[in-house]
A and B are shown apart, each in its own frame.
Chain A
Amino acid sequence: MPFPTALLAQGYSESVMTLTDLPEEPGAAQVPAASDPPAAPELASAPVLPSERDDRDEFFEHDVMQHLDALYRTALRMTRNPQDAEDLVQETMLRAFRFLDRFQRGTNLRAWLFKILTNTYINRYRKSASEPRVDSLDDSEEFALYHHLDTEAASRGGSVEAQVLDRFAESDIKAAIEALPPQYRMTVLLADVEGFSYNDIAEITGVKKGTVMSRLFRGRRLLQKSLIDQARSAGFAGGNRP
């Protein structure tokens, strides 16, 4: 069977996808093992022949595994800990392998894998994963970082906001991301780092597109607030210090 790798290579630009709903709990539904006899031979469910099994293994090792880095870096930001990230990715990959027959080839494999990752994360971190506490966010501060740095640059008689941005170290950015509540963090990572479309993110995280947009909006504002705080304490953005 020819496999349209060109489609997968397009990654996030492909918005149409068919994600099979995954069970909430791992193991709730079992894909028949390769050696199981077909339940009803007269139906279309043919036994898995050795060549199909080889094909499936090859698909996993070549196509699925190439998304390992992306899954890992997302898991790392979500768990904030390398060991937990490895555990999360391992479980994700094992589930992906178990449910591989449900993946419709030619659809968006990356999105399918991220959906499994998200579900697995929620199962593991159910308590913290749903924490919505961002009520303290001041809605008036829409482009807080920009206005803060711009005002400052103007007071110094120059336009240095870009240089100030470049002074953020990798660890500052990661810390600001990791400080976001999980739902916002996942949404921002899927959009800004992984480049998924709103529709894909809605499918991956199981919410409406409008919710994706508002999570992105608020998540990015929270991120900027956190960057301002870091810039102030590092001393390269003075601003309203006492």
Chain B
Amino acid sequence: MRDERPVCAETVKLLQEYLDRELTTTEVSTVQGHLDRCPPCLKLFRFEERVRRLVRIHCASDCAPTSLREEILARLKAARKN
């Protein structure tokens, strides 16, 4: 069986760009090819993706107060008159 360890190191180097969708199509298939063969790397990638998702879900939930929206529009209306 092929030694995947050097490939693991190369793949992990690409983790951030892979999860940020910054790799080329060719690079993506190289990473995915390795992840298909390597459960430990896959586990790490999945974990890191989960952390990102947690950040996204929890930090995207706040909405601007209605009063802020109204105040901005009111101030613009006033600014236009001047």
Contact = CB atoms under 8 A, between A and B. Distances in A.
Interface of A: 34, 53, 57, 60-61, 65, 68-69, 71-73, 76-77, 82, 86, 89-90, 93-94, 97, 143, 145-146, 150, 161-162, 165, 168, 170, 173-174, 177, 188-189, 191-193, 197-198, 213, 216-217, 220, 223-224, 227
A143 to B, nearest CB: 6
B36 interface: no
B25 to A, nearest CB: 15
A192 B16 contact: no
Give chain B's interface secondary structure class: helix
Contacts of A53: 80
Give chain A's interface secondary structure class: helix
10 smallest CB-CB distances across A and B, nearest first, come from A72-B64, A173-B58, A73-B62, A170-B58, A193-B59, A192-B55, A68-B64, A146-B47, A93-B72, A69-B63
Contacts of B20: 191, 197-198, 216
B3 interface: no
A69 B50 CA distance: 24
Contacts of B47: 143, 145-146, 150, 161-162, 165
Nearest to A178: B59
B2 interface: no
Contacts of A65: 69, 72-73
A188 B50 contact: no
> B55, B56, B68 — which one has the most chain A CB atoms within 10 A of its CB?
B55
A193 B48 CA distance: 15
A97 B79 contact: yes
A198 B22 contact: yes
A173 B59 contact: yes
B76 A60 contact: yes
Given A94-B79, A146-B44, A213-B16, A188 B55 contact: yes
A193 B69 contact: no
A201 B76 CA distance: 28
Contact of B63 (A72, A97, A162): A72
B55 A177 contact: yes
Contacts of A73: 59-64
Nearest to B47: A146
